[in-house]
Structure 1
Amino acid sequence: MTFYVAHRLFAAHDRALAADLADRIGERVGPARVFLPFCDTDEEDLVAEVKGRRLFELDRERLGHLDAMIAILHGPSLDDGVCMEIGYAAASGAPVIVLSTDFQTYSMTGTGTHLEFPDPLLQHVATRIVRVAKLGPPSLPAPPGKTRFQEFQARNLAQTNTALDATVDALLDLPDRTCRPESTPTNISSPVYVEASPYTPQDRNHLAMTCVDAGHTVVVPQRFTAPDPLAGASADLAAVRSAGRLVADVSGPETPPGTALLIGAALASGVQIAAFQPQSTFTHAHGREPNWRNLMIQYAADAHLTNEEAVLSWLAA
């Protein structure tokens, strides 16, 4: 069995946390059975003609053979690369364990159902959520010579250790799987699923209306308007996996988490993907080509479109 640890890559403390988790899993199952992105792709020192694409290919190769995913998600701004990987794993039939130390819950309205994550898709696809929301207990009596900041750090480390150990236990408690569900076959004549971005300044229905006006059958998300957000999330995931094409507005500081998850699910299901982004911004890293989005999103997409005319041309192709 192969275990894939999905985590935010861009800061040392995030990578260190993921490495701690991977090491604890490796101690229980053997390190050869654990895949840790950035570490196992040698991301900082990798040399390739198109480095971002090569990193995507290396990660996708492991995504296609994993037996379980362990994903680290914290806070309201969820990493779009991790969410994409979660969608890929879920659509492939692999169980997904999500670790969070976020002390907040989320809802669509002030009195709505409380959810573990800002987008109900994350909660829907998670096989198990390990949530440790409180600091470790204070030391009583306070250790002599220890500042309040050191005590606060110790309480955070205790919280982290509890969460990591609980995640490893949850992983080892997963039942053995003997088979994977087959991918849902897609047909180019199937409906077009259109996923808007909450960061788009225009009317959020503009992409869907563009496709409808051109004669396409369109499916739009239900999870944000359904009385039961999780039922809506289930319907959205099923609709994307059976769609002919996915048009996803990836605008925003990051691709919205649910959108990223659906892109991963579409990729695993063989659905053609267009990333719509009227105004691109780029990220840069040593030895890597400029990326207009998280590389897991960028290279999952078959097309990068910047206006409605380009969307119609892509749909007509």
Structure 2
Amino acid sequence: MSIYIAHRLFAPHDRALAADLAERLARKIGADRIFLPFCDTDEEDLVAEVKGRRLFELDRERLGRLDAMVALLHGPSLDDGVCMEIGYAAASGVPVVVVTTDFQTYSLTEWDTLLDFPDPLIQAVAHRVVRVPSLGPWPLPDRQGLTRYAEFRFRNLSQVDAALDAAVEVLLNLPVPGPRPVCDTEPGVVYVEGSPYAAWGPDHLAEACVDVGHGVIVPQRFTAADPVAGALADLTAVCAAARLLADVSGPETPPGTALLIGVALASGVRIAAFHPRPTYTHASGREPNWRNLMIQYAADALLTDTKAVQTWLTV
């Protein structure tokens, strides 16, 4: 069994949490069967002409030969690189276990079905969601000398321990990965994914596609009576489309959009990212990135206006 641990990279506590899970899994199946990004790509010492692209290539190579993925997702703002990796694994027929200690649930309307994550796509593709939403038990009697802050820390860490232990058990009992899903490609069809962060909505992108003779598919999951069923329909539609035009506007790529970019990349669908006002992130030794590097290098093109969209559609 080869397991990929997908996790947020940009804070030490996130990397430490992923390393804790990797250590627990390694004790069960051996460290050679675990892939922990950042650690196993040796990012701090990696030298490459274009370092971000090289990291993308190393991660994608490992994504192409997995038996399972475990993704650590916490809170309403979900890491777009992790969501992209989830989509890639799901489109490849690889079971994905998602771990969360978020105590919130989400819905698309005030009285709608409760979801584990803001976008139903994540719940739709997950083989299992390991959810530990409540604090751990109070410290044992012999630890009653702790301050209330130390007690609170203990309860939070015991919650994390419970989540990681549960994830390990699920991963060790996963079924053998099934065959890679096969979709019938629809030539000339563009799946247009709008951004909930953008005031302009998806219509102008859809109109740009129609104006140059392309058919258009838009998401169903936000309007379907069953959001999870709608999400699965969206995933199938992206796999079958000739192109994915994804609006990645906002503080980060929206989680469902990022997941569909991963699906499209694994399925050989051409991808363009629409981002009229890109901002850049900078990390030591890397080139500037206009989005998470897993999004940036999955896309064929970055488009900043309607004219650029139509030019991309004719190439």
Question: Could you say which TM-score interval applies, normalised by the shorter chain?
Answer: over 0.9
Asked if the contact 1:86/1:261 (under 8 Å) is kept, the reply is: yes
Aligned to 1:91: 91
Partner Cα distance (1:181, 1:163) in 2: 29
Q: Which amino acid in the other structure matches residue 63 of structure 1?
A: L
Task: Please list, as runs of the form range in 1=range in 2, the aligned pairs for 1:234-273 lying within 5 A after superposition.
Answer: 234-273=232-271
Q: Which amino acid in the other structure matches residue 31 of structure 1?
A: A
Asked if the contact 2:183/2:236 (under 8 Å) is kept, the reply is: no
Partner Cα distance (1:216, 1:49) in 2: 38
Aligned to 1:218: 216
SS at match of 2:97: strand
Q: Does 2:178 align with 1:175?
A: no
Aligned to 1:204: 202
Asked if the contact 1:84/1:261 (under 8 Å) is kept, the reply is: yes
SS at match of 1:246: strand
Q: Which amino acid in the other structure matches residue 193 of structure 2?
A: E
Asked if the contact 2:121/2:231 (under 8 Å) is kept, the reply is: yes
Give the Å deviation of 1:136: 0.6
Q: What per-residue deviation string (whole Å, max 9, x for no partner) do you get for residues 183-218 of structure 1?
A: 43646x241000000111224321112212332100
Q: What per-residue deviation string (whole Å, max 9, x for no partner) do you get for residues 268-297 of structure 1?
A: 000000000000100001111000000000
Task: Please give the root-mean-square deviation of Cα atoms over the aligned residues, in Å.
Answer: 1.3
Unaligned runs of 5+ in 1: none
Q: Which amino acid in the other structure matches residue 72 of structure 1?
A: L
Give the Å deviation of 1:182: 5.2
Q: TM-score, normalised by structure 2?
A: 0.97
**Aligned-pair identity (%):** 69
Asked if the contact 1:92/1:268 (under 8 Å) is kept, the reply is: yes
After superposition, the Cα gap between the structure-2 partners of 1:58 and 1:112, relative to the gap in structure 1 and judged at 3 Å, is same
Task: Please list, as runs of the form range in 1=range in 2, the aligned pairs for 1:132-171 lying within 5 A after superposition.
Answer: 132-139=132-139, 141=141, 143-171=143-171
State the aligned residue count: 315
Partner Cα distance (1:222, 1:142) in 2: 54
Unaligned runs of 5+ in 2: none
Partner Cα distance (2:242, 2:202) in 1: 21
Asked if the contact 1:86/1:264 (under 8 Å) is kept, the reply is: yes
Q: Does 2:103 align with 1:103?
A: yes
Q: Which runs of 4+ in 1 moved over 4 A?
A: none
Aligned to 2:14: 14
Q: What per-residue deviation string (whole Å, max 9, x for no partner) do you get for residues 59-80 of structure 1?
A: 0000000110000000100000
Partner Cα distance (1:154, 1:182) in 2: 44
After superposition, the Cα gap between the structure-2 partners of 1:134 and 1:53, relative to the gap in structure 1 and judged at 3 Å, is same
SS at match of 1:284: coil
Aligned to 1:45: 45
- Indicate the larger mover: 139-148 or 211-220: 139-148
Aligned to 1:279, which of 277, 291, 307?
Answer: 277
Aligned to 2:297: 299
Asked if the contact 2:99/2:129 (under 8 Å) is kept, the reply is: yes
Q: What per-residue deviation string (whole Å, max 9, x for no partner) do you get for residues 21-47 of structure 1?
A: 011011111110000000000112211
Give the Å deviation of 1:180: 2.5
Q: Which amino acid in the other structure matches residue 285 of structure 1?
A: A
Asked if the contact 2:73/2:100 (under 8 Å) is kept, the reply is: yes
Q: Does 2:183 align with 1:184?
A: yes
SS at match of 2:288: strand
Q: TM-score, normalised by structure 1?
A: 0.97
Partner Cα distance (1:175, 1:84) in 2: 23
Q: What per-residue deviation string (whole Å, max 9, x for no partner) do you get for residues 96-141 of structure 1?
A: 0000000010000000000010000000000000001111111364
Partner Cα distance (1:216, 1:246) in 2: 12
After superposition, the Cα gap between the structure-2 partners of 1:282 and 1:263, relative to the gap in structure 1 and judged at 3 Å, is same
- Indicate the larger mover: 142-151 or 115-124: 142-151
Partner Cα distance (2:92, 2:303) in 1: 27
Partner Cα distance (1:144, 1:118) in 2: 38
Aligned to 2:62: 62
Asked if the contact 1:100/1:129 (under 8 Å) is kept, the reply is: yes
Task: Please list, as runs of the form range in 1=range in 2, the aligned pairs for 1:111-126 lying within 5 A after superposition.
Answer: 111-126=111-126
Q: Which amino acid in the other structure matches residue 57 of structure 1?
A: E
